[in-house]
Amino acid sequence: MTAATAPHALPLLGHAGQLWRRPLPFMRELAATEGLVTLRLGPYRAYLACGAAATLQVLHEPRVFDKGGPLFEKARLLVGNGLVSSDFITHRRQRLLLQPAFHAHRLPGYQQLMAGQLDAALDGWRPGQVLDLGHELHALTLRVAARTMFGSGLDERAVAEVVGAMPVIMRGVYQRMILPVEWAHRLPLPANRRFERARATMHRVIRETVQAYRRAGRDHGDVLSILVGARDEHGAALSGQEIHDQVMTLLIGATEPPGDALTWVFLLLAGHPEAERRVQAEADAVLGGRPATALAAADLPRLAHTRRVVTEALRRYPPAWLLSRTATADTELAGQRIPRGSTVLFSPYQCQHDPRAFPEPTRFDPDRWLDPSPAARAAWLPFGAGNRQCIGDELAMTELVLAVTAVAARYRLCPAPGAAPRPLARASLGAEGALMTVERRTPRPPRAAALRSTAAA
Ligand code: HEM
């Protein structure tokens, strides 16, 4: 039996047109599908694993469904052979080396660093100011990432360079993945030149930062110190290139998805006043007018509604909305034979809009996480699953909950007049046109806020 071809294929382009122009509606049209469908991407054929069962099979058979293949090579343009892109064998060694940096006992330390960056950024916001939210929050997550990875941080020039380069890269990598036609991306077109320039900027910033860091020559107690000091079971250190690729991987992983996720949280809150009011009540109860640095790890469980808001935002708009693998052997997936070398795509967005797991899937409803069904738990995959599950998942959840709380304690973000934010699904699922006006709010007294928060729960 061969997998059915998905609807809306165009001559020559195949489904690349859908994936470029209307990727989210296209995925929602497939949301109730289970098993495999075939997609055509220009001259290439790929399978899309639909539904949680097929997706989890891909994720839990990492030897058979490994990273690699022609689409994946495009991601390597950016992150080389770092943790997110390495193949099964290399990945095992790399993950063992990196895991200590993400151990639970390090979280409170990172939380303090994050809170410091948050307070500093929020001090700079002014009532009435209009923010380009996506830009502002990516700059914020980049500063947080830089601070947790290279204790000394990045200088302001480097932050501006990276924040400017990242959207160009995300767009270019995605374009190359959905239409993997080599010659088209070598043409001397302005878009191709912009992409190469942005890539060179990123590589230079990382190189200079690692060099400066090495010159300082001491243990900073951060992620880069762990990378520089890491030894495998044979006592071998990571090479310069390996360190470069891991730093690039971590910097992008810790900036793009959390920046996009935060943007969506605030856009969704702006459209759902009751959910927003409960977030504010929790922030007031826990922070009570104090800065975010006052928040201890023990306070996080008191931000349960805020965590549900983040969970639901990651369901509606998972930054990693489309991912890929290659079949390393002839195999069977969701009951269908597929040949070695096949490209297999899967989409957390598609799984997370399956109406059987999430009734009224396009409704933003944080309370669906009060008592989620097993189907909902299985289909919630914003961080992936299995051996390639996001290494920074808990760090990211902490960062998101902390950032939402810190903002909600001091400000409201309201859509600016005439703003028309809309999803932008590229290598990560962000939003464009998210212009928001900053309004200052006065925290309610902790006691009253705590009572209201409890009543609302
Ligand atoms: C909202 C925030 C985040 C989301 C939605 C997210 C999502 C993901 C997903 C879906 C994967 C699996 C990719 C696959 O299976 O092909 C992944 C892997 C990864 N993420 Fe994240 N991520 C987030 C934050 C972070 C942060 C904060 C870091 C680093 C500090 C990070 C670093 C990584 C790395 C290194 C991998 C590769 C893991 C491996 O293959 O072993 N991510 N992420």
Q: DSSP string covering 414-432, please?
A: EEPTT---EEEESSSEEEE
Burial (Cβ within 10 Å: 0-12, 13-18, ≥19) of residue 157: exposed
Q: Which of 245, 324, 321 is nearest to 70 (CA)?
A: 324
Pocket residues: Cβ below 6 A from ligand 1:
83-84, 95, 249-250, 253-254, 257-258, 261, 319-320, 323, 382-384, 388, 390-392, 395-396
The residue nearest atom 19 of ligand 1, judged by CA position, is 390
What is the side-by-side order of every strand in the sheet holding 65-66?
4-5, 35-41, 44-50, 343-346, 323-327, 65-66
Q: How far is the CA of 391 from the centre of ligand 1 (A)?
A: 6
Q: How far is the CA of 146 from the centre of ligand 1 (A)?
A: 16
Nearest ligand 1 atom to alpha carbon 324 = 16
The domain that contains 127 carries what CATH number?
Answer: 1.10.630.10
Task: Give residues with Cβ within 8 angstroms of 451, minimum separation 6.
Answer: none
Rounded (10°) angle between helices 393-410 and 304-316: 110
Give pLDDT, residue 181: 72
Nearest ligand 1 atom to alpha carbon 384 = 10
Q: How far is the CA of 99 from the centre of ligand 1 (A)?
A: 13
Other C-beta atoms closer than 10 Å to the C-beta of 66 total 20
Nearest ligand 1 atom to alpha carbon 94 = 41
Q: How far is the CA of 346 from the centre of ligand 1 (A)?
A: 15
Is the residue at 362 inside a domain?
no
Q: Which of 425, 426, 441 is nearest to 24 (CA)?
A: 425
What is the best residue among 140, 390, 398, 399 to mutate for testing ligand 1's pocket, by most ligand atoms within 8 Å of CB?
Answer: 390
Is the residue at 297 inside a domain?
yes
Is the residue at 1 inside a domain?
no
Q: Which of 269, 254, 260, 282 is nearest to 406 (CA)?
A: 282
Is the residue at 20 inside a domain?
no
Nearest ligand 1 atom to alpha carbon 249 = 35
Is the residue at 280 inside a domain?
yes
Is the residue at 357 inside a domain?
no
- The pLDDT tens digits along the chain (457 residues) read 578 888 887 777 788 888 888 999 999 999 999 999 999 988 889 999 999 999 999 999 999 999 987 777 777 777 788 999 999 999 998 898 888 888 888 888 888 888 988 999 999 999 999 999 999 999 899 888 887 877 666 777 888 888 888 888 888 888 887 776 777 777 888 888 999 999 899 889 888 888 877 777 666 667 888 887 778 778 887 888 888 888 889 988 999 999 999 999 999 999 999 999 999 999 999 998 889 888 888 899 999 999 999 999 999 999 999 999 999 999 999 999 999 999 999 999 999 999 999 999 999 999 999 999 999 999 999 999 999 999 999 999 999 999 999 999 999 999 999 999 999 998 889 999 999 999 999 887 655 444 444 444 3
Is the residue at 246 inside a domain?
yes
Residue 291: domain span:
61-320+382-456
Q: How far is the CA of 178 from the centre of ligand 1 (A)?
A: 21
What is the best residue among 76, 84, 86 to mutate for testing ligand 1's pocket, by most ligand atoms within 8 Å of CB?
Answer: 84
The residue nearest atom 43 of ligand 1, judged by CA position, is 390
Is the residue at 360 inside a domain?
no
Give pLDDT, residue 298: 87
Number of domains in the chain: 1
Give pLDDT, residue 202: 87
Q: How far is the CA of 173 from the centre of ligand 1 (A)?
A: 17
Q: How far is the CA of 254 from the centre of ligand 1 (A)?
A: 8
Q: How far apart are CA 400 and CA 118, in angstroms?
A: 11
Give pLDDT, residue 219: 65
Q: How far is the CA of 138 from the centre of ligand 1 (A)?
A: 16
Full-model pTM: 0.92
Pairing status of strand 343-346 against strand 44-50: parallel
Nearest ligand 1 atom to alpha carbon 386 = 15
Helices (H), strands (E): how many in the chain? 19, 13
